[in-house]
Amino acid sequence: MSVAWIGSQPVPLADAVRTAAKLLASSRCPVFSLDADVHGTRSAIALAAVLGAAYDHRSGDAVAREVALFTDHGGMFTTPGEVRRRSSLIVLVGDIAPAHAELFKGWGGSSPDLGDKAPRRWFQVSASDRPTRRGKAVVKAVPLKGEGLSLNATLAVLRAELQDRMVAAPLQNVERLKKAMASAQFPVFVFSGGSLDQAGLVMLQDLIVDFNSRHRLSSLFLPDDDDAWGTVLTSLWMTGFPPRTGFINSLPSYDPVRWDVQRMIREREADVHVWMSARGGEDPPKRGSAAVIALDKTERPARGAAVTIAVGEAGLDHDGVRYSSRVGTFTAVRAAEPSPLPSVSAVLRQLAEAMPGKGTLIC
């Protein structure tokens, strides 16, 4: 089985590494699209620093929206463990990413053992025109919506209702929710990055802060993509910044517009693109003119890539560390089906060593 290709030609791994290193060494503007576990991300950012490259997550836009909630606003949050143990009232906000179904199942099948210890009740805030699809199969929630209201508008009306202000048209089931909130000791609103836009995220947090002036209420943030959120956290400690960071004179600079890697590729600023897909099943972007170095969980060359190197997935092919929404932090994962595929981190270290005059990574 081949593990490395130059163009569509199978080659020994060392040849592919050497070719990739040459491409990077001669690049004017290299960029990275990250998709790896913590150690892959650490190695990638360390290499980006050496190269003076910019990096972003592969799903840059979705990640940028989640990041902006914090950089622009902040909020009140809790953890999945605390919700399971303490929240007898769970309010889902919008459509939660289906990846979190297991978590909801766990809550559905258990009762809180702390706080009010009441049986769990579920509500779901949604737009009037959108039937809730995702997550519906897992839990049965009381719908909260209003005639002709978008999700953000529904949240705005809900906030007014919870402050006992006048509203033009009441939300369906809102009295039931108000009653539940009055009796629950630690209710929680659950949202994911994809379930709300920026204005909705801010609206939700304002509602929560208001409510906390007298009662307790928190929110649980479930990232749209756990690995992407792990990359955000790793980036923060390594450079002080979230992704969409570039290195100028080896100093990191964060600029969500300038270092939007998709944009840099589209507008032909980038000339070499290190594209990762440690989970496989994706293709590098078609547009732009950048030469693609693909670190892909694949058995064939990645579409349009100058170099493809097959990599394994942490927790499947090899051990690693990944962010998990089940615990709200990093967790060590063991290889479930150990394979000889190298980790992203191992490939990047080899790449760094093959760079002419660049030496080994500090990370």
Partner 1 sequence: MLTRLTGGEVVDPVNGATGIRDIWIRDGVIVDPREGEAADQTHDVSGCIIMAGAIDIHSHIGGGNVNTARLLLPEHHKAHLPRPAATPLSNAGWSTFQTGCLYAQMGFTTVVEPAMAPYTALHTHLELADIPIIDRATLAILGNDDFTLSLLRDGKSEAMIDDYVAWVVGSTRALGVKVINAGAAAAFKENVRAFSFDDEVPEYGLSSRKIVKSMQHSVTRLGIPHPLHVHANNLGLAGSADTADVTIAATEGVPMHLAHLQFYGYGTQGKRAFSSEAARLAESVNSNPNVTIDVGQVMFGQTVTISSDVMRQFSAIDKASPKKSVIIDGDGNGGGGIVPYSYKRNYYGTLQWAVGLELFLLIANPWQVFFTTDHPNGAPFTAYPEIFELLMSSEARDARAVELNVAALEMTTLASIRREYSLEEIAIMTRASPAKLLGLKDRGHLGAGAIADIAVYRRGKDIAKMFREAALVFKNGQLVVKNGKVSAYRWGKTLRLNPPPDRAMVKRMKAYHEDRYGLPLEWFTFPDSAIDRDEPFMEVPWNS
- Interface with partner 1 includes 215 (CB under 8 A)? yes
In this structure, are strands 245-248 and 54-57 parallel, antiparallel, or unpaired? antiparallel
- Interface with partner 1 includes 192 (CB under 8 A)? no
In this structure, are strands 320-324 and 329-333 parallel, antiparallel, or unpaired? antiparallel
- Interface with partner 1 includes 319 (CB under 8 A)? yes
Q: In what order do the strands lie in the sheet with 291-296?
A: 9-10, 4-6, 307-310, 291-296, 272-277, 30-34, 54-57, 245-248, 251-254
In angstroms, what is the minimal distance from the CB of 163 to partner 1?
Answer: 17
Question: What is 337-363 written as a DSSP string?
Answer: S--SPPPHHHHHHHHHHHSTTT-----
Q: Of these, 9, 12, 114, 183, which contacts partner 1 (CB under 8 A)?
A: 114
Tokens at residue 35, please? 């998709």
Q: Which is nearer to partner 1, 51 or 232 (CB)?
A: 232
**Beta bridge pairs of residue 91:** 123, 189
Q: Of these, 147, 237, 257, 336, which contacts partner 1 (CB under 8 A)?
A: 237
- Interface with partner 1 includes 64 (CB under 8 A)? no
Q: Of these, 345, 350, 351, 352, which contacts partner 1 (CB under 8 A)?
A: 345
Q: Of these, 238, 295, 351, 352, which contacts partner 1 (CB under 8 A)?
A: 238
Q: Which is nearer to partner 1, 128 or 185 (CB)?
A: 185
Report the candidate in 219, 272, 281, 277 with the shortest Cα–Cα distance to residue 26: 272
Instruction: Please say whether the beta carbons of 219 and 190 come within 8 A.
Output: yes
In angstroms, what is the minimal distance from the CB of 200 to partner 1?
Answer: 17
Please give the single-letter amino acid code of residue 246.
G
- Interface with partner 1 includes 328 (CB under 8 A)? yes
Residue range at the interface with partner 1 (CB under 8 A); choices 5-13, 278-286, 289-297, 318-326: 318-326
**Beta bridge pairs of residue 143:** 124
Q: Which is nearer to partner 1, 67 or 97 (CB)?
A: 67
What is the sign, positive or negative, of the torsion defined by CA atoms of 135, 66, 70, 345? Answer: positive
Site for partner 1 in 159-188 (CB under 8 A): 185-186
Q: Which is nearer to partner 1, 2 or 331 (CB)?
A: 331
Q: Which is nearer to partner 1, 78 or 126 (CB)?
A: 78
Q: Of these, 331, 335, 354, 358, which contacts partner 1 (CB under 8 A)?
A: 331
